Amino acid sequence: MRLNNRGSAATRAVVWTLVLIVAAAGVTAFSVLRGREGPVQAVLVTADDDVYWERLVDGAEAAAALYDVDLTVLENNGSIDRQNELLRQAESGRYSAIAVSPVDANRQATLLRSIGRSSSLVTVDSDCDVSGRICFVGADNYAAGRASGRMIKQALPDGARVLIVMGPIEKANGERRRQGIIDELLDRSDGPGRPTEPIGEVHQNGDFAVVATAIDPIDPDMATANVRAVLEADPRVNCVVGLFAYSAPAALAAVEQMGRLDRVTVVGFDDNEATLAAIAEGKIYGTIAQDQFSYGFASVRLLADAARGVEEYSIPVTEELHFDPVAVTEENLSTYRGTLRGTSGMVAPPLDDEG
C-alpha cells in the first residue's frame, strides 16, 4: 500500500509485466519458500514528494510482490520534522523492517539508531552511516559527483565558472555529490572521505572554479530564484549544475528567463522527463541518471532477508550496495530511453558484493 499513489496505469502495466516474466523464470517459487513464515511487514519512508520517488516505489512494490512483503509507503514532504513524525509512526507500528532516505543524517542519527535496535533498517538513496542500519542502497554519491564533474569538463573543455544548485547540504547524498564535483574540477586525487568544502568560498584550479553553491529546502521555485540571483550577481558564471532531480529543470527556467541559453550550460542529476526532454532540445547538456527502480527493489529484498534472519547471505560485507549511474547526453539519449533503464532491479545482481 502506498500513500499518495501517483503512478500511471501504463507504468504499472510495464512493471507487472516484468514481474510476471521474472516469476516465470522461477523467482516466485524461490520467494514462496522464503515466505512460509508469513508476509514481512515493511515500510518505506521517502525524503520528499518529488516525482523522483515514483520509480523507486515501483521497484520496492515489485520486490514486495516477489518476496512476500506487506509494504506501506509513507511520503514525506521534504521536512525533517515531518519525516521524524513518520519514522516514529513506523517505529511504534507493526513494522519489523523500515527503509528510509534521511533528510538530515546528523540530526536524525539518534532516532534512526533507536529504530535500528528494534527493526531491520535500510537507508536508501541518502545514507546515515552511524544509524545502525544493516545496509545503504543507492549510488556511490561521491563517485557520481566526480562523474558530473567530468561531464562539465566535457561540455566546457576550455574552463567553467560553476554554480552548484542543490537541496539541503545536510542531506548526505547532495553533500557527497558536491564534494565529488569540486574534487574532479580541481583535479584532486580520489577522496571519498574528504571533509566538506565550505559553502561560502570559491574553489578554483586553473580554468575551472566552483564559485557558489545555492541551497534550497527541496523547493523548485526557490532554486530558480537562487540561480537568477547568482547569475545577476556574477555574469561570468557559464555553468549551472543541479544535484537533485528538480534542480536542473529549475536552473534551466532561470537561464531561459534571463535569456542566457547561449551563455550558460546546464548539467543535471537524475532522469525525470523534464530533464530528458531538455537534453533532447539541446537546452540541458546532460545528466547523471540513477537507477531508482533497483534502489527500491534491493532495499525491500534486503529487508525481507533480514526480517527472516537470512541477511548474512545477502548483505554486502561493506554494508553498502551501489548501483552505478549513467551519464546521459544528447548523444546517447535515445539509447538510454530504449533500454528501460530502472528495471534492472527485477534481475538484481547477487547481494553478496557491491553490485
Q: Report pLDDT digits (tens) over 65-120.
A: 999 999 999 999 999 999 999 999 999 988 999 999 999 999 999 999 999 999 99
User: CA 348, CA 179: separation in Å to the nearest integer?
Assistant: 29
Look at residues 73, 78, 132, 140 and name the one whose alpha carbon lies nearest to residue 103.
78
| Residue at 227: amino acid letter | V
pLDDT category at 8 given cuts 50, 70, 90 is: very low
Place of cell 563517485: 143
* 18-49 confidence digits (pLDDT tens): 444 444 343 433 443 344 468 999 999 999 99
pLDDT > 90 fraction of the chain, expressed in percent and rounded: 80
pLDDT category at 3 given cuts 50, 70, 90 is: low
Q: Where are the alpha helices (DSSP H) in 237-340?
A: 247-257, 273-280, 292-307, 333-338
| Residue at 180: amino acid letter | G
The per-residue pLDDT for 310 is 81
User: CA 68, CA 66: separation in Å to the nearest integer?
Assistant: 6
* 134-186 confidence digits (pLDDT tens): 999 999 999 999 999 999 999 999 999 999 999 999 999 999 999 999 999 99
* 198-233 confidence digits (pLDDT tens): 999 999 999 999 999 999 999 999 999 999 999 999
Residue 343 has pLDDT above 90, yes or no: no
Look at residues 307, 268, 296 and name the one whose alpha carbon lies nearest to residue 138.
296
Look at residues 183, 208, 187, 207 and name the one whose alpha carbon lies nearest to residue 196.
183
User: CA 355, CA 14: separation in Å to the nearest integer?
Assistant: 24
User: CA 156, CA 92: separation in Å to the nearest integer?
Assistant: 52
Average pLDDT over residues 127-131: 95
* 235-291 confidence digits (pLDDT tens): 999 999 999 999 999 999 999 999 999 999 999 999 999 999 999 999 999 999 999
Residues paired with residue 41 on neighbouring β-strands, in sequence order: 70
Asked if 152 and 181 touch (Cβ cutoff 8 Å), the reply is: yes
pTM for the whole structure: 0.85
The per-residue pLDDT for 339 is 78
The per-residue pLDDT for 311 is 66
Greater confidence (294 vs 338) lies with 294
Asked if 227 and 251 touch (Cβ cutoff 8 Å), the reply is: yes
Burial class (CB in 10 A: 0-12, 13-18, 19+), 103: buried
Half-sphere exposure of 298 (CA within 13 A, CB side): 35
Cell triple for residue 337?
A: 530511453
Is the Cα dihedral 201, 203, 207, 211 positive or negative? negative
The per-residue pLDDT for 338 is 87
Look at residues 260, 293, 288 and name the one whose alpha carbon lies nearest to residue 276.
288
What distance lies between CA 127 and its chain's CA centroid?
10
Place of cell 565550505: 198
* 301-332 confidence digits (pLDDT tens): 999 999 998 866 688 889 999 999 999 999 99
Asked if 109 and 116 touch (Cβ cutoff 8 Å), the reply is: no
What's the alpha-carbon Rg for the chain, to the nearest Å? 20
What distance lies between CA 71 and its chain's CA centroid?
20
